[in-house]
Amino acid sequence: MYEGDVEAVGTAAGGAVAELHRRLLGLDLDISDAERLEAIRQLAELTNVVSALQFQLISDLDASRRSQDEAAEVPREERRGVAHLVAWARRESPHAGQLAVGVATAVVREMPHTYAAMRAGILSEYRARLLVTETACLSVENRAAVDETVCADREGLEGVGSRRLAGWARQVAYRLDPVSAVRRVAKAESDRYVSLRPAPDCMTYLTALLPVAQGVACLAALRTTAGSAIAAGDGRGAGQVMADTLVMRLTGQESADAVPVGVHLVMPADTFFSRDREPVRIVGHGPIPAALARALVTAAPAVRSWVRRLYADAAGHLVSADSRARFFPAGLAELIRIRDDTCSTPWCDAPIRHLDHVQPWAEGGPTTLENGQGLCERCNHDRQARGWETRSGPPTPASTEIRDPEWVPAA
């Protein structure tokens, strides 16, 4: 909550929150170390209490919107819920907002002891989320039984780590409903996937969600290869050998560095062939030093590598292209994906799945780079929800705003 928001709050509950906000910012922090430790502990407990109150508000908001949709006879396929509103309020992605709604409603409506432990400052939002996850496959009655077994004795939660807490809940859940547990395992195996996301220092996290036996086997095979290489005098560390072996086996290359490179580079016109230090953006990853981009492309096999250089103007915007078509032509669509990189919705970093007109085409919106935006599937559907509209400033993802005039206070 920013200062301007604090001044705008007018309700009794909002006024109390505003007063707490002012008092916390006015605390005298010039205290002894012992007092600092005690303040840290109390603030941690207060954070848990605040999370519990947020859960209550989210649950009430969800119930209110459902009731209004029911009264207005909104078709079920058009009901979008409150995940997008909760995400906006918490400054999170829509996916995170959906998770928050699910966890909050489960805790408040089905897990009274977990909720009470949060209100007492004992249980954090993260640990409550673990308990909801571990009981997701259970009936309401069995979930309540796990909740009572694990959280009814608050003193018993002291000193219990998050991993042990989740294991405790899982053990009780297995005992109550072993059939659902087996069914959940089978469902989990069908959800296996591989993903890639940026990491610090121009690295990436390649993550695979696998059945436990397969994951253990993969790690054991990589460790065996690393052990053999080190025993033979390889100068690399075990982690380096494992990473290089993974790349080589997945790509079929003779060495990890020999992987072909296909890169969209967004850069000023003189960066690639000069020693200009202006950072370069790799689409799908983010900014990297210009020198690293030059080295990356130079080291890749020439025959099977390609680089598409996309030149930006002084303001950092790509060159525009126009079309009178309802759908974005392939070239223009690619420019929008490259420009936006991830979903244009504030705080949403999901991959782009849909291209959309900021000003709807049906309302005269042009099919141009400036009026186009890349959205994930969820945000594109949420944009069609009752009462929502999109406003766009300059053609950058951060300038696109989504507001619900009926629910969200004006900026």
The per-residue DSSP string of 226-274 comes to HHHHHHTT--S-HHHHHHHHHHHHHH--SSGGG---EEEEEE-TTTTTS
- Long-range (24+ apart) CB contacts under 8 A made by 403-408 are 404/84, 404/85, 404/88, 407/85, 408/85, 408/88
Position 3 in a domain: no
Position 11 in a domain: no
Q: Lowest-pLDDT range, 16-25, 71-80, 205-214, 364-373? A: 364-373
d(CA 225, CA 272): 38
Same domain, 252 and 340: no
Position 253 in a domain: yes
Same domain, 49 and 148: yes
Same domain, 114 and 91: yes
Distance from chain centroid for Cα 69: 28
Give yes or no for residue 318 having a pLDDT over 70.
no
Q: Lowest-pLDDT range, 91-100, 176-185, 354-363, 383-392? A: 383-392
Total Cβ atoms within 10 A of residue 48? 21
Structural domain boundaries, residue 239? 193-257
Tokens of residue 370, six digits: 């400036």
Same domain, 277 and 217: no
When pLDDT is averaged across residues 259-268 and rounded to a whole number, the result is 59
Per-residue pLDDT, 107:
97
Same domain, 178 and 46: yes
d(CA 128, CA 135): 11
Same domain, 326 and 358: yes
More confident of the two residues 355 and 286? 355
When pLDDT is averaged across residues 194-200 and rounded to a whole number, the result is 84
Tell me how many domains the chain contains. 4
Give yes or no for residue 201 having a pLDDT over 50.
yes
When pLDDT is averaged across residues 332-348 and rounded to a whole number, the result is 77
Residue with tokens 């690295």: 203
199 phi, psi to nearest 5 deg:
-130, 165
Q: Where does the pLDDT of residue 283 fall: very low under 50, low under 70, confident under 90, or very high at 90 and above?
A: low
* Closest by CA position to 46, among listed 85, 20, 69, 81: 20
Same domain, 154 and 173: yes
Same domain, 358 and 284: no
d(CA 209, CA 333): 31
* Closest by CA position to 397, among listed 320, 327, 317: 317
Q: Lowest-pLDDT range, 77-91, 173-187, 273-287, 293-307? A: 293-307
Per-residue pLDDT, 401:
43
Position 360 in a domain: yes
Per-residue pLDDT, 213:
86
Q: Lowest-pLDDT range, 260-269, 286-295, 389-398? A: 389-398
d(CA 358, CA 372): 6
**Domain end call among 171, 190, 209:** 190
d(CA 369, CA 356): 11
d(CA 371, CA 118): 45
d(CA 292, CA 298): 10
Q: Where does the pLDDT of residue 402 fall: very low under 50, low under 70, confident under 90, or very high at 90 and above?
A: very low
Q: Where does the pLDDT of residue 209 fall: very low under 50, low under 70, confident under 90, or very high at 90 and above?
A: very high
Same domain, 251 and 304: no
Give yes or no for residue 385 having a pLDDT over 90.
no
When pLDDT is averaged across residues 85-103 and rounded to a whole number, the result is 91
CB 345 within 8 A of CB 379: yes
Total Cβ atoms within 10 A of residue 122? 18
Per-residue pLDDT, 327:
59
Position 80 in a domain: yes
DSSP code of residue 329: P
Give yes or no for residue 299 having a pLDDT over 80.
no
Per-residue pLDDT, 293:
66
Same domain, 38 and 157: yes
Same domain, 150 and 205: no
Q: How many CA atoms lie within 13 Å of 237's alpha carbon, on the beta-carbon side?
A: 2
Encode burial over 216-226: b for 16+ CB neighbours within 10 A, e otherwise.
Answer: eeeeeebeebb
405 phi, psi to nearest 5 deg:
-60, -25
Same domain, 157 and 267: no
pTM over 0.75: no
Total Cβ atoms within 10 A of residue 236? 13
